[in-house]
C-alpha cells in the first residue's frame, strides 16, 4: 500500500492556554495556515486554534 504524501499531520495550538490539537491537512488544497474554533478543555470554552510548526517524529 502506498502512503498518500499530500496529507501531512499538523498541530493546532491555542495561544492563550497552550492546548494542542492534531489533525491532517492536504497541503495542495490548503497551503495557508489552518485556523479552527475547537473546544479547549482547560478553559472549558470554544477557543481559536491556529496551526504552528512543530517537529513530529
Q: What is the pLDDT of residue 20?
A: 95
Would you list the domain boundaries of the chain?
7-52
CATH number belonging to the domain at 7-52, selected among 2.20.28.120, 3.40.50.720, 3.40.50.11540, 3.50.50.60 = 2.20.28.120
pTM: 0.81
**What is the per-residue pLDDT across 29-46, written as a single tens digit (0 to 9) for each?**
988 999 999 999 999 999
Residues in Cβ contact with 53 at an 8 Å cutoff, skipping those fewer than 6 apart? none
Q: What is the pLDDT of residue 4?
A: 60
C-alpha cell at 4: 498518500
Cell 486554534 -> residue? 49
Q: What is the pLDDT of residue 50?
A: 97
Reference 39, options 57, 21, 16, 15; nearest CA is: 21
Distance (Å, whole) CA 11 – CA 52: 6
Q: What is the pLDDT of residue 32?
A: 93
Amino acid at each position: 500500500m502506498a502512503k498518500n504524501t499530500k496529507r501531512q499531520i499538523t498541530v493546532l495550538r491555542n495561544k492563550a492556554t497552550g492546548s494542542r490539537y492534531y489533525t491532517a491537512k492536504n497541503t495542495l488544497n490548503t497551503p495557508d495556515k489552518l485556523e479552527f474554533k475547537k473546544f479547549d478543555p482547560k478553559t472549558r470554552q470554544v477557543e481559536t486554534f491556529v496551526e504552528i510548526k512543530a517537529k513530529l517524529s
